[in-house]
Structure 1
Amino acid sequence: MNNLSTFAARELLLVPEQVMRKDGCASGQAVVVRDGRFVRVGPAAQVRAEFPQLRPVELPQRLLMPGLIDAHTHLTQALGKALAFGEPSEIFRRIWVPMEQTLRPEAAYVSAKLAALEALRGGFTTVVDAGTRSEEGLDGIARAAHEVGVRCVLGLTCNDIGHPAGDDAYPQLVKRAEQHLAQYEHDALVHPSLAISIPEVGSDRMLARVSALVREAGRIFQTHANEHLVAVERSLVARGLRPIELLAACDALHPSTLLAHATLLTPSELALLQRQGGAIAYNPVASAWKGNAVLDALQLQAQGVPFALGTDGTRYDAFRLLDAAESAQRYTYGIDRGDSSCGAGWTWLDHGTHRGAVACGLGAVTGAIEEGLAADFLLLDLDVPELAPSWDLSWEVVRLADRSQVEAVFVNGQLRLWQGWPTDWDARALLAQVRAIAREDIARAPIQRVHPTADEHRRRHAG
């Protein structure tokens, strides 16, 4: 097999065993990468003839596939991820808000860098951060994304209701939002976005203004909507409307809106999405770990509502996410309906890659092995017992592949991970830094846990 130096050239002609295109996996294909983009994808013999100056990099028993998109995550929560295990639904109030607000700038940066590394190791080349509650954390996330080399949609939180600045919050946040969009307008890896954590913590005018700003800038607006029963009820009490209805009333529901979760989706709200636009970040692992419901993703697909797959920061493993999406659909809807296919495998691949990129506002940037798009891709080792013999590779990737097969990760044409570890920085040193920083910052945070640790729970059960 090739070594690191093989991939150091500015221009590469890659000839893998299989290439995953939008319409499925195909053999006999070759891919040319130059200056961070795919410049040619086509039949291997033809591509070799067109680029005689390039020495082909033969990749037997390797699948070249798009890097996956994590459509919803919280990068500054990585230092406390296991603290939420076993907790009832609205953990953000008792764990994430107190923790993130306590993080020092260095801790927020280290957390984001750890999460970005986990994402690349798991097969994600793009992460969509929904906005941190750390006042100093935004610059740290951008810095971490650049250092690790992950593509990042970076949300700036613009909650004005309950803001310490009171009536002055609105103009301050609008100014900061405009600066955020301008700061990263031409960034190669960081794509600016605006966010309001949940619709009921944004005033009507803030929801409308933030929404207008992203539409003007060609970016996306992010918010959590209809995730938990209590959130829907809180919105009804505070504003007389369910969260998605509130967004529609404030002109904040449109094709540039990305709703996280939307598990409690009514038929009328689905009709609103069809009529006014909007995409959904579907988080099946979050539903399993702390949710009140599971979204019917195939209904979204049938009705033409764009959706992508997200982790919600639960675990950064793209292949387990694909499997979780299919499994959640089957357990919740497929078994009762006699649907043994539940998306036929390709549904989850598509919404984890090119269709997911469209939902996240990046359809013209990444998500597919196509000429003109950023060269964000994985080399997956197919020479493993789990895939021998292979009969249906796309579905096998969903059900049988795992991140241990990810041999190389490229973002913007640059090799960022080789056999699970970075090529140009010391990840072991980061892990030591994480261990040194995390306990101090977490210990200072006023976190309230309801559920004990697994070992304590075992002791109580035995008693």
Structure 2
Amino acid sequence: MALNRDGMERKTVDLLLRDCAAIPMDQLGRVLERVDIAIDGDRIVALGQDLPYVGRQTLDGRDHVALPGLVNAHMHECLTRGLCEDRELSRWLTEICFPLDAAYTPADITAAAGMNQLEMIRSGTTTFIDIYRHPAAAAAVTEQSGLRGIFSPQVIDEPTGVGEALADTENLIQAWHGRGSGRIHIWVGLHAPYSCHPESFTQGSELAQKYGVGLHTHLAETRWEVETLQARYGMTPVQCLERWGCLTSRTLAAHCVQVQPEEIDLLQAKGVRIAHNPSSNLKLASGIAPVLQWLRQGIPVGLGTDSILSNNNLDLFEEMRLAVFLQRLTSGDGAALPAEQALWMATRGSAACLGLEQEIGSLEVGKKADVILLDLRAPHLWPRLQGSLNNLIAQVVYAAHGSDVSTTICDGKILMHNRQVLTLPEEELRHQVGSQATDLCRRAGL
């Protein structure tokens, strides 16, 4: 019988994290010292000092900080990176992305999903939304990896043959929504208003409403997009989506770099959520998004990496840091977007963007046990100060990297411990990805 200090019997739980610092994200800027986190099944059942629990498995959290698992609010599970670089968006899509997209097979996506999900596990992301090709193949990998994933089949009408068909989305919802012990969700995915017909957006919005799921799209990413839609429809991208019935509280719009102030008012009034992708916006010269204005108006804002083609990694720690620096550059305000706000965007904000804020995004009793442990022993995270000088949140946002994550837990299951991934075969995947990517590029004519 296990007893606590008062001689009372300790309760047994599946997993106990002992003696770690914690940034629970239950409120902005809160830091806890030397706490335990008790996990039973897929839920957090207690969080506090010297908890009266014993774990069937216990992890030592000393010299670590516990964070909610990070949430990637926009990405594509692509197979290639570092290939045919240095083009602006319209050329990049036409010359690289669309030829590759047309050549993808489910086998390619199986390899891509293995690589992307392995990278996310190793960098502390436990939940993601993927808008891309052959989503059933990617969802099957998620059953094995243990991550929490939303899959939105990327419908593209023009050019033909490079995306998914809206008609197949309903079948995917019926076959996959709720699988993986509830970790897998299916949304409607429409690439962009310049690549999808108006009727696809209208029908997609109706389908999302029918099944009570979200709708994910790219919106107002570049000036080229704005000019293209003005020439084609006489409207901006935001105006197009409003006309087509797609600006609703179910809509998650990626980028929104080139939105006008009055359009931000409209997005707020319609309840649209926004995924901010600072690295991608920089790499593709899309611009600096008006994040401060979104936040001032109460729009839910999350952080995304975009794809390994346009980033080229899936490290949300890097996105937090860049998000802050870009807003300070464009505003001229060295206090704009504080570190705790950036961390909120990568956790609670992204969770709200995915409609999962009641389940994930913070370390709270009753919520899903999506937890990461960040190792604080590397010199780039020194000094660790406490009390009135507590610098833990600043160290996490401004100095930490995805490679500092030592343990990743999703849905109460340990996916990685001491940097060893337990759910995916890393060496086997490395060879599979290399072989499959080479063949994909050959088939795409690159």
Normalization by structure 1: what TM-score?
A: 0.85
User: 8 Å contact 2:304–2:316 — kept in the other structure?
Assistant: no
2:81 alignment partner in structure 1: 81
2:5 alignment partner in structure 1: none
**How far apart are residue 389 of structure 1 and its match?**
2.3
Structure 1 window deviating more from structure 2 (279-288 vs 436-445): it is 436-445
Is the counterpart of residue 262 in structure 1 residue 256 in structure 2? Answer: yes
Is the counterpart of residue 44 in structure 1 residue 49 in structure 2? Answer: yes
Q: Secondary structure at the match of 2:328?
A: helix
**How far apart are residue 39 of structure 1 and its match?**
2.1
Q: Secondary structure at the match of 1:65?
A: strand
Distance between the aligned counterparts of 1:56 and 1:124, measured in 2?
22
Q: Secondary structure at the match of 2:305?
A: coil
1:451 alignment partner in structure 2: none
Q: Secondary structure at the match of 1:264?
A: coil
Q: Secondary structure at the match of 1:81?
A: coil
Is the counterpart of residue 415 in structure 1 residue 414 in structure 2? Answer: yes
1:207 alignment partner in structure 2: 201
User: 8 Å contact 2:46–2:365 — kept in the other structure?
Assistant: yes
CA RMSD of aligned residues (A): 2.3
Q: Secondary structure at the match of 2:23?
A: strand
**How far apart are residue 385 of structure 1 and its match?**
2.1
Distance between the aligned counterparts of 2:297 and 2:245, measured in 1?
21
Structure 1 window deviating more from structure 2 (80-89 vs 355-364): it is 80-89
Of residues 52, 70, 73, the one that matches 1:71 is 73
**1:141 aligned partner, one-letter code:** A
1:178 alignment partner in structure 2: 170
Is the counterpart of residue 35 in structure 1 residue 41 in structure 2? Answer: yes
Q: Secondary structure at the match of 1:380?
A: strand
Distance between the aligned counterparts of 2:236 and 2:421, measured in 1?
45
**2:18 aligned partner, one-letter code:** V
Runs of at least 4 residues of structure 1 off by over 4 A? 52-57, 160-164, 172-175
Q: In 2 relative to 1, CA 393–233 (structure 1 residues): closer, same or farther, beyond 3 Å?
A: same
Work out the number of aligned pairs and report it: 420
Distance between the aligned counterparts of 1:173 and 1:88, measured in 2?
27
**1:290 aligned partner, one-letter code:** L
**How far apart are residue 301 of structure 1 and its match?**
0.6
1:331 alignment partner in structure 2: 329
**1:154 aligned partner, one-letter code:** F
Aligned counterparts, 1:242-253, within 5 A: 242-253=236-247
**1:15 aligned partner, one-letter code:** R
1:6 alignment partner in structure 2: none
Distance between the aligned counterparts of 1:84 and 1:247, measured in 2?
32
User: 8 Å contact 1:219–1:361 — kept in the other structure?
Assistant: no
Q: Secondary structure at the match of 1:27?
A: strand
Q: In 2 relative to 1, CA 398–422 (structure 1 residues): closer, same or farther, beyond 3 Å?
A: same
Is the counterpart of residue 310 in structure 1 residue 316 in structure 2? Answer: no
Distance between the aligned counterparts of 2:247 and 2:270, measured in 1?
6
2:125 alignment partner in structure 1: 124
**1:142 aligned partner, one-letter code:** A
Distance between the aligned counterparts of 2:235 and 2:424, measured in 1?
49
Q: Secondary structure at the match of 1:308?
A: strand
Aligned counterparts, 1:81-160, within 5 A: 81-90=81-90, 91-132=92-133, 137-160=134-157
User: 8 Å contact 1:16–1:64 — kept in the other structure?
Assistant: no
Distance between the aligned counterparts of 2:365 and 2:432, measured in 1?
40
Distance between the aligned counterparts of 2:145 and 2:57, measured in 1?
29
1:461 alignment partner in structure 2: none
**How far apart are residue 399 of structure 1 and its match?**
0.5
2:15 alignment partner in structure 1: 12
Q: In 2 relative to 1, CA 424–125 (structure 1 residues): closer, same or farther, beyond 3 Å?
A: closer
1:430 alignment partner in structure 2: 429
Of residues 349, 363, 381, the one that matches 1:355 is 349
Q: In 2 relative to 1, CA 276–296 (structure 1 residues): closer, same or farther, beyond 3 Å?
A: same
Query: Which consecutive residues of structure 1, in runs of 5 or more, have no partner in the other structure?
Result: 1-8, 448-463
**2:19 aligned partner, one-letter code:** P
Q: Secondary structure at the match of 1:82?
A: coil
**How far apart are residue 174 of structure 1 and its match?**
5.2
Aligned counterparts, 1:419-458, within 5 A: 419-447=418-446
Q: In 2 relative to 1, CA 152–67 (structure 1 residues): closer, same or farther, beyond 3 Å?
A: same
**How far apart are residue 161 of structure 1 and its match?**
5.8
Q: Secondary structure at the match of 2:89?
A: coil
Distance between the aligned counterparts of 2:405 and 2:209, measured in 1?
36
Distance between the aligned counterparts of 2:375 and 2:160, measured in 1?
50
Distance between the aligned counterparts of 2:366 and 2:85, measured in 1?
42
**How far apart are residue 128 of structure 1 and its match?**
1.1
**How far apart are residue 84 of structure 1 and its match?**
4.8
Task: Report the structure, 1 or 2, having the larger helix content.
Answer: 1
Distance between the aligned counterparts of 2:146 and 2:176, measured in 1?
15
Distance between the aligned counterparts of 2:54 and 2:428, measured in 1?
42
**How far apart are residue 205 of structure 1 and its match?**
3.3
**2:185 aligned partner, one-letter code:** H
User: 8 Å contact 1:150–1:411 — kept in the other structure?
Assistant: yes
Normalization by structure 2: what TM-score?
A: 0.88
**2:315 aligned partner, one-letter code:** D
Is the counterpart of residue 389 in structure 1 residue 383 in structure 2? Answer: yes
User: 8 Å contact 1:67–1:377 — kept in the other structure?
Assistant: yes
User: 8 Å contact 2:214–2:250 — kept in the other structure?
Assistant: yes
Distance between the aligned counterparts of 2:377 and 2:231, measured in 1?
57
